[in-house]
């Protein structure tokens, strides 16, 4: 005899609200107080991807949000489970990735520091998230669920995008309800629709006048251009102005790497720093000109700066400018319509001369191995494949020297935490349900240990992610930093497993490679269905910094 259908609960209203908002895939990890919502996911239209550690689930949701441009739900449990997601949410905040964190809570009686002694109880769980996410919402009754989720969704999606947090007590999740399922919380005029953020016309007119009068205009494009999908608008404006364009590390892919006006991303190079500082009008768009984008704050503009930024807190935070609080796409559209085309030729020659100086500096440092390895990765990776890079020396090279081509390149350089690359790549692969495009993850051996458990996730969902692990026996970049600063290292040398045997124990094919065979091994792994690991034992070096000296 068929069992009677389960009564609808607050948990069902959560999944119904997420579906009405437009969610299709959710990431997470169940816990005792959250079991009701996971049971509701089973009965819903949502696709669920479960990871083995909450922080990794957050990284996967982050990558899914970056690749799709949509708000991505992250479902986790109370107390330890919730707190384990904080590092991932910090990265999402730094990179403006719209992740909607949804956590269970202790029963309502324990909210507000009631100290009832519930498992996982915190005096004020939401206080841990206030400095990390854009907004925090606590639900106290079933009827509040649709409105709270819609408000958090809208906050996450509104420029500047970023993570938000909703917590729902266990008894609310399990309570029976006759609140009707929301029909559509994402209607064009509904509560979940983000407001547009256009540039004010008088500021656009002033910026256009400055650019039209400039003799040596230049552009620095940040991650805001990529997040806004404003690559075509940036290309149009740069070509009209005949202006050289550099991209920040977070802005990789904002401008074609091999374009005649492309300065690349050599921002840790004094030649590039000086070139940008010497422009008489520098347009900075979608970047806060922070530590990495300013060559460790050695960038000192001598001309006028036009700063377009969706995050008002970053606007003119580091340099005085004509500040324009606007979304990159809308602002670039308006500027492209307002500037006058100028003759071509001079900028292309200046770009070529600068890149020759950069290449000569790198060539003088005996870094053939590093360039060989990065070149092998570029040759092996299909042009349209996205790549996700952990905080490791090869990634630092990629920030400056890797051409993402048509694929997206993402790293954890926003917050700078370890363990991002592999779980993020799994989230990106989940965004492609047809499994048509392989995804690359790159980690060092130290960072890889943060994510080993997710080999089980990769195998369980048969995700086409190839994980390149560069094994140098420890935290390579910290080894370099400590040696230079203190003459010796502490805590950087690591015992590690046989990564090939470990991957194979999860049922994931793996191969030990070499710099000479890396291109062939990576190509084969990326072409094969499902997950794979390529191990590269190699000790790589960074190119010499230029922010510590005045020499060019």
User: Which residues, in sequence order, are CB contacts of 533 under 8 Å at separation 6+?
Assistant: 455, 466, 467, 469, 499, 500, 503, 508, 509, 510, 511, 525
CB 443 within 8 A of CB 391: no
pLDDT above 70 (res 188): no
pLDDT per residue as tens digits for the range 367-416:
999 999 999 999 999 999 999 999 999 999 999 999 999 999 999 888 88
pTM recorded for the entire structure = 0.94
Question: Quick one: which H or E segment has residue 258?
Answer: none
Six token digits for residue 201: 């016309």
Six token digits for residue 405: 């081509």
Q: Give the model's pLDDT for residue 4.
A: 44
User: Which residues, in sequence order, are CB contacts of 69 under 8 Å at separation 6+?
Assistant: 227, 229
State the Cα–Cα distance between residues 497 and 100, nearest whole angstrom: 35
Give the distance between the most distant pair of CA atoms in the chain: 83
Six token digits for residue 12: 């069902």
- How many CB atoms lie under 10 A from the CB of residue 460? 16
Collapsed DSSP state (helix, strand, coil) of residue 138: strand
pLDDT above 80 (res 2): no
Six token digits for residue 3: 């069992």
State the Cα–Cα distance between residues 210 and 225, nearest whole angstrom: 21
| CA-atom Rg of the chain in angstroms | 24
pLDDT per residue as tens digits for the range 8-53:
999 999 999 999 999 999 999 999 899 999 999 999 999 999 999 9
In terms of Cβ atoms closer than 10 Å to its own Cβ (0-12, 13-18, 19+), residue 42 is: exposed
Tell which residue, 257, 289, 255, 259, has the closest CA to residue 273: 289
Under the banding of pLDDT at 50, 70 and 90, the label for residue 552 is low
Query: In Å, how far from its chain's centre is CA 52?
Result: 20
Under the banding of pLDDT at 50, 70 and 90, the label for residue 549 is low
Under the banding of pLDDT at 50, 70 and 90, the label for residue 467 is very high
Six token digits for residue 225: 């251009």
CB 265 within 8 A of CB 246: yes
Q: What is the mean pLDDT of the chain?
A: 92
Cross-sheet strand order for the sheet of 217-221:
262-264, 245-247, 217-221, 281-285, 304-309, 322-325
Q: Give the model's pLDDT for residue 548.
A: 62
The residue-averaged pLDDT of 297-319 equals 91
The residue-averaged pLDDT of 101-120 equals 82
pLDDT per residue as tens digits for the range 404-426:
999 999 998 888 889 999 999 99
Report helix, strand and coil shares of the chain as percent, to nearest 5. Answer: 40, 15, 45
State the Cα–Cα distance between residues 444 and 439, nearest whole angstrom: 17
In terms of Cβ atoms closer than 10 Å to its own Cβ (0-12, 13-18, 19+), residue 428 is: buried
């Amino acid at each position: 005899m068929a069992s009677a259908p389960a009564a609808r609960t607050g948990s069902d209203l959560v999944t119904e609200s997420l579906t009405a908002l437009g969610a299709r895939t959710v990431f997470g990890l169940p816990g005792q107080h959250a079991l009701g919502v996971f049971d509701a996911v089973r009965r819903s239209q949502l696709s669920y991807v479960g990871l083995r550690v909450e922080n990794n689930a957050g990284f996967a949701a982050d990558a899914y949000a970056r690749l799709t441009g949509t708000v991505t739900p992250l479902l986790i449990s109370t107390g330890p489970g919730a707190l384990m997601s904080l590092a991932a949410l910090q990265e999402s905040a730094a990179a403006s990735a719209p992740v909607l964190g949804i956590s269970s809570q202790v029963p309502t009686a324990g909210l507000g520091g009631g100290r009832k002694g519930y498992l996982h109880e915190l005096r004020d769980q939401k206080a841990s998230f206030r400095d990390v996410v854009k907004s925090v919402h606590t639900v106290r009754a079933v009827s509040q669920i649709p409105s709270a989720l819609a408000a958090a969704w809208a906050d996450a999606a509104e420029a500047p995008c970023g993570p938000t947090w909703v917590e729902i007590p266990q008894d609310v999740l399990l309570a029976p309800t006759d609140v009707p399922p929301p029909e559509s919380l994402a209607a064009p005029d509904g509560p979940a629709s983000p407001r547009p953020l256009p540039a004010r016309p008088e500021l656009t007119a002033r910026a256009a006048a400055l650019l039209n009068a400039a003799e040596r205009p230049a552009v620095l494009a940040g991650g805001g251009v990529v997040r806004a999908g404003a690559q075509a608008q940036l290309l149009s404006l740069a070509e009209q102005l005949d202006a050289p364009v550099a991209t920040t590390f977070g802005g990789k892919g904002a401008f074609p790497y091999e374009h005649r006006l492309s300065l690349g991303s050599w921002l840790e190079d004094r030649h590039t720093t000086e070139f940008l500082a010497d422009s008489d009008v520098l347009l900075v768009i979608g970047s806060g000109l922070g530590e990495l984008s300013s060559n460790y704050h050695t960038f000192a503009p001598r001309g006028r700066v036009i700063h377009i930024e969706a995050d008002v807190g970053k606007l003119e935070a580091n340099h005085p400018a004509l500040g324009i609080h606007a979304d990159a796409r809308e602002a670039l559209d308006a500027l492209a319509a307002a500037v006058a085309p100028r003759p071509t030729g001079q900028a292309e020659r200046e770009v070529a001369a600068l890149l020759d100086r950069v290449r000569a500096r790198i060539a003088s440092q005996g870094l053939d191995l590093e360039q060989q390895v990065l070149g092998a990765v570029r040759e092996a990776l299909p042009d349209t494949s996205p790549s996700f890079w952990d905080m490791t020396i090869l990634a630092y090279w990629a920030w400056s020297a890797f051409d993402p081509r048509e694929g997206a390149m993402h790293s954890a350089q926003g917050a700078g935490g370890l363990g991002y690359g592999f779980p993020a790549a799994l989230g990106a692969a989940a965004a492609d349900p047809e499994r048509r495009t392989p995804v690359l993850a790159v980690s060092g051996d130290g960072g890889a240990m943060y994510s080993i458990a997710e080999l089980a996730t990769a195998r369980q969902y048969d995700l086409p992610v190839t994980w390149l692990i560069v094994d140098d026996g420890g935290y390579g970049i910290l080894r370099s930093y400590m040696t230079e600063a203190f003459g010796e290292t502490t805590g950087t040398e690591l015992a590690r497993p046989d990564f090939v045997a470990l991957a194979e124990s999860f049922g994931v094919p793996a191969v030990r490679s070499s710099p000479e065979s890396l291109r062939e091994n990576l190509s084969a792994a990326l072409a094969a269905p499902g997950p794979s690991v390529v191990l590269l034992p190699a000790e790589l070096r960074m190119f010499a910094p230029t922010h510590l000296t005045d020499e060019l």
